[in-house]
Each structure stands twice: as C-alpha cells, then as structure tokens.
C-alpha cells in the first residue's frame, strides 16, 4: 500500500512547478520503467505491482532502488496513465547543461514546440536518427512532462536536452563554426535537392502554428522545405522533423 504522503508526492509531480521544486519526474509503464532502470538516471523510487517487481527484481536490486509494491488501482491513482498494470518510477531530473554539436554531429534546436506529444515523438525520432542533443527554447514543452516521457517510448534515456536562450547560443555560433544551421520553412530550398554538409550542425524546428520566430530565423544558413505533391496545408512538426532528418542523413552518410 502506498502511504498517503507518497501518493501525494507522486501526484504533485504531474505538475511542472512541483517537478522543478522537487527535482524529480515520473516514468510510467513497464517498458519505460525498465529502460530508465538500465539508464544513467538516478531512480529515487519504483512503485510496482507484485508481478512486475518479481519479473524485474534484477533491475531494481542491482542499484538497490527502493521499491513499493502497489495495486493497479494505486498505480493508476498515483500516475497519469489511464491504464498501468506494471510500474512507475520517480526519477531525479538532470542538471541543465549546455549542449553544442561536435564537428560532424547534427543537433536539434526546438523553437517553441508546445505540444508534449510532439516533443515526445521528436525525442523518439531523434533517437532513431542518431541525434543525441536537443536544444530547447524556454517556451518549448517541458521534457519532464509525463506525456513527453511516455510518447518518447524510452528514448528520453538516450537523448540529451538543454533548455535556455537559443537566440544567444545561435548568436555565439554564428559564422564561427562552419557548421550548417538548417531551418524548416514552407518556402525554403527543396530538401530533396539539398547538398548537405558533412561538417554537421543544427536543424531548427519551430512552433506548431507559427514556425520559427524571426529572432531565431536570422541565424538559419539553409532554409529547407519538404516538397509537397498534394494539397495538405502542412505536416505535423514531428513528421517534418523525421522527414528532414531522413534527408539530411541520407545526404551525409
């Protein structure tokens, strides 16, 4: 049985304010909890059904992670998932350390991507395409939001992020690195014709409705566009990230 205090503490982590105060976030569901237990993250507590605990004791015992056995009803009460018959973990957030693309590396920059589902999908896509660094504007959805963590399907354990003033990062990079700064626009160069540089660099994706802000757009060195063959007005930002990374990768590998 979860104590009332623990239940309250876990529930408080549904909200960004308390995640920041406590320096902790939630990971939910069998697969994600298994992945976080095998990652570099510090896991504070696992709440698990007896079945999940028995099948995964090697993972928790190894790190001497505290485990509380709970019913499915308690798990669902504590967490955010509609159904969870396995486990949730309370995990320490990471230090917010600056990230830059090394020579030859592609990093993502997210300028005000607001939807947690989109951000989670972008983490998964980044992980598929071997992108390990994501620089986020402060207005981008909180990566520790349980919806982001769920949608990332475990990829949050393999991708790094930083939140801060992306304009000043871009300003410091400008002209100095020889790296490309790709930006997704509706009126850029056809990405199928792109002569991508092997020097690596950054791909900037903008807000779901408004795209990349002018203050950020001024640092873009290659405006790129996914060619359209039909009539849809736009593609979702997650879809566009995947198609652009696929094109950059196939032109630089």
Determine if 40 is a binding residue for a copy of itself (CB under 8 A): no
Pairing of strands 43-48, 67-69: parallel
21 vs 250, beta carbon nearer a copy of itself = 250
Beta-carbon count within 10 A of 167 CB:
15
The phi and psi torsions of 169 (rounded to 5 degrees) equal: -60, -45
Residue choice 131, 166, 169, 205 for contact with a copy of itself (CB under 8 A): 131
| Structure token pair of residue 5 | 């205090």
Determine if 201 is a binding residue for a copy of itself (CB under 8 A): no
* Cβ proximity of 185 and 223 under 8 Å: yes
Shortest CB 153 distance to a copy of itself, Å: 7
| Residue where the block lists tokens 């505290």 | 66
Integer Cα distance of 60 and 46 in angstroms: 8
Q: Which stretch binds a copy of itself (CB under 8 A): 11-19, 82-90, 137-145, 221-229?
A: 221-229
User: Please, what is the Cα angle at 144 between 44 and 131, to 5 degrees?
Assistant: 110
Binding pattern to a copy of itself, positions 149-168, x when CB under 8 A? ----xxx--x----------
Determine if 233 is a binding residue for a copy of itself (CB under 8 A): yes
Q: Which stretches of the chain bind a copy of itself, using CB under 8 A?
A: 121, 124-132, 153-155, 158, 192, 226-236, 238-239, 242-243, 246-247, 249-250, 253
């Amino acid at each position: 049985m979860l104590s009332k205090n623990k239940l309250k503490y876990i529930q408080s982590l549904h909200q960004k304010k308390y995640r920041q105060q406590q320096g902790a976030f939630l990971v939910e569901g069998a697969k994600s909890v298994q992945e976080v237990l095998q990652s570099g993250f510090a896991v504070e507590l696992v709440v698990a059904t007896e079945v999940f605990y028995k099948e995964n004791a090697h993972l928790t015992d190894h790190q001497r992670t505290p485990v509380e056995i709970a019913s499915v009803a308690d798990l669902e009460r504590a967490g955010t998932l509609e159904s969870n018959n396995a486990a949730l973990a309370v995990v320490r957030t990471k230090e917010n350390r600056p990230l830059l693309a090394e020579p030859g590396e592609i990093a993502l920059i997210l300028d005000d991507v607001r939807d947690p589902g989109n951000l989670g999908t972008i983490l998964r896509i980044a992980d598929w395409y071997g992108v390990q660094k994501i620089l986020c504007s402060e207005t981008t959805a909180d990566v520790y939001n349980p919806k982001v963590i769920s949608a990332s399907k475990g990829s949050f354990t393999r991708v790094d992020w930083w939140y801060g003033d992306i304009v000043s990062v871009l300003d410091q990079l400008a002209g100095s690195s020889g790296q490309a700064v790709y930006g997704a626009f509706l009126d850029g160069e056809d990405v199928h014709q792109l002569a991508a540089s092997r020097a690596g660099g950054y791909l900037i994706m903008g807000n779901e409705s408004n795209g990349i802000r002018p203050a950020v757009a001024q640092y873009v060195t290659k405006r790129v566009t996914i060619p359209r063959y039909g009539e849809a007005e736009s593609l979702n930002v997650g879809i566009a990230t995947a198609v652009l990374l696929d094109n950059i990768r196939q032109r630089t590998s």
